[in-house]
Amino acid sequence: MDEPRLKLAIQKSGRLTDPSLEMLARCGLKISRGKDQLMAYGENMPLDVLFVRDDDIPDLVQEDVCDLGLVGLNVLEEKRLELAARGHPVRFEPLRTLDFGRCRLSLAVPQGQAFAGPAGLAGKRIATTYPYLLENYLRERGVTAEIVTLSGAVEIAPRLGRADLICDLVSTGSTLQANHLREVETVLESHAVLIRTPLTLPPLKSEWVERLVMRLDGVQQVRESKYIMLHAPRAALDEIRRLLPGSEFPTIIPLEGSPDKVAVHAVCRETVFWETLERLKKAGASAVLVLPVEKMLA
Ligand code: PRT
Ligand code: ZN
């Protein structure tokens, strides 16, 4: 009998596509994309990748077409609120926060216009493509405003006289600036999320979900991690241990012929800056080597 295969939905073409594919490749997945560009076959895992619009990803998991999905929290939360408003059960679960796709859903007013906090939004027209998230934000603050739901080009709505302000995604802020808008409030901090179906999967599929998640954790952990090797006077060990960023249990190795010195090897889970190396040297460290970590399995 054929092995059951997992189906994972990712964005077909957009901001999340490259980082999603890169993440999967780092998890060891090799895919072949045939003529049918909508689906790629996992060659070395029982996992196939479906390429779709990001807005369809929660639905595909919701409707059991896919077991897994990689999507922005903004899209996910909008969908969750929409389902709740319609009285439908939510049938997707977040599995992991991913370290890409960072942005925020923010309120922005025309430059030069004052903003008197959320209470000042009462009676205003706010243009957005995220009506449920905005409605939720306003409701939590007890404010009644008019939500103008658009399908795109939100940033030009105030200039066209369709709205007083906007609620849109921002990353660098240059789009807002180019449109003479000023960011004033964050409605949601967003990032990419791995979601799964709440259904119990058959054992083989379930095992591969676990393996994938474990690899994802490993990949995300090593992104910032470095392996540090150095020589240290025994007397300075406490100080040097304290200086090593995010390393709990360094390995201490005696050095042949130098009873006063040891070698210290440590995995640092935080960025190692030049300043840290300078402090280590000041504390007595020598022969300091910093190496990238390729894979890690806790
Ligand atoms: O075709 P499809 O529906 O799949 O794609 P899409 O056009 O809806 O989505 P896409 O590719 O633009 O974004 C996919 C996801 O990336 C979003 O749902 C967010 O989770 C995430 N993301 C991260 C962003 C941004 N950063 C971002 N900057 N999505 C959109 N933007 C917009 C922003 O609104 C602005 O218009 O990009 C523009 C540039 O932003 P600034 O602030 O850098 O100027
Ligand atoms: Zn979209």
**DSSP string for 13-29:** SSTTHHHHHHHHHHTT-
Q: Which ligand does the CA of 13 lie closest to?
A: 1
Tell me the pLDDT of the chain averaged across its residues. 94
Outline which parts of the chain fall under CATH 3.30.70.120: 226-292
Pocket test for ligand 1, best of 171, 187, 188, 193 (most atoms within 8 A of CB): 171
Report the pLDDT value the prediction gives residue 221, as an integer from 0 to 100. Answer: 86
pTM to 2 decimal places = 0.87
Phi/psi-derived region of residue 105, left when phi > 0, alpha when psi is between -120 and 50, beta in every other case: beta
Query: How far is the centre of ligand 2, averaged over its atoms, from the C-alpha of 223 (Å)?
Result: 28
Tens digits of per-residue pLDDT, 171-208? 999 999 999 999 999 999 999 999 999 999 999 999 99
Atom of ligand 1 nearest to the CA of 178: 44
Q: Is the CB of 120 under 6 A from ligand 1?
A: no
Name the pairing type of β-strands 47-52 and 6-11: parallel
- Give the Cα separation of 198 and 62 in Å (integer): 9
Q: Is the CB of 191 under 6 A from ligand 1?
A: no
Query: How far is the centre of ligand 2, averaged over its atoms, from the C-alpha of 75 (Å)?
Result: 8
Report the pLDDT value the prediction gives residue 87, as an integer from 0 to 100. Answer: 98
Report the pLDDT value the prediction gives residue 36, as an integer from 0 to 100. Answer: 63
Q: 103-190 falls under which CATH superfamily? A: Periplasmic binding protein-like II (3.40.190.10)
* Low-confidence residues of the chain: pLDDT under 70: 1, 34-36
Q: Which long-range contacts (CB under 8 A, 24 or more apart) does 84-92 make?
A: 85/132, 90/62, 91/61, 91/62, 91/63, 91/64, 91/197, 91/198, 91/199, 92/58, 92/61, 92/62, 92/195, 92/196, 92/197, 92/198
What token pair was written down for 199? 């259904």
Ligand 1, atom 39: closest residue by C-alpha: 175
Outline which parts of the chain fall under CATH 3.40.190.10: 6-100+192-222, 103-190
Counting beta carbons within 10 angstroms of the beta carbon of residue 190, is it exposed (0 to 12), middle (13 to 18) or buried (19 or more)? buried
Q: Which ligand does the CA of 193 lie closest to?
A: 1
Report the pLDDT value the prediction gives residue 166, as an integer from 0 to 100. Answer: 98
Q: Is the CB of 53 under 6 A from ligand 1?
A: yes
Architecture of domain 6-100+192-222 in this structure: 3-Layer(aba) Sandwich (3.40)
- At the top level of CATH, the class of 226-292 is alpha beta
Do 90 and 98 form a contact (C-beta atoms < 8 A)?
no
- Give the Cα separation of 242 and 247 in Å (integer): 9
**Helix pair angle (131-140, 73-85), 10° resolution:** 70
Interior CA angle at 188 toward 182 and 193, to 5°? 130
Report the pLDDT value the prediction gives residue 5, as an integer from 0 to 100. Answer: 96
Atom of ligand 1 nearest to the CA of 55: 3
Q: Is the CB of 17 under 6 A from ligand 1?
A: no
SS3 92: coil
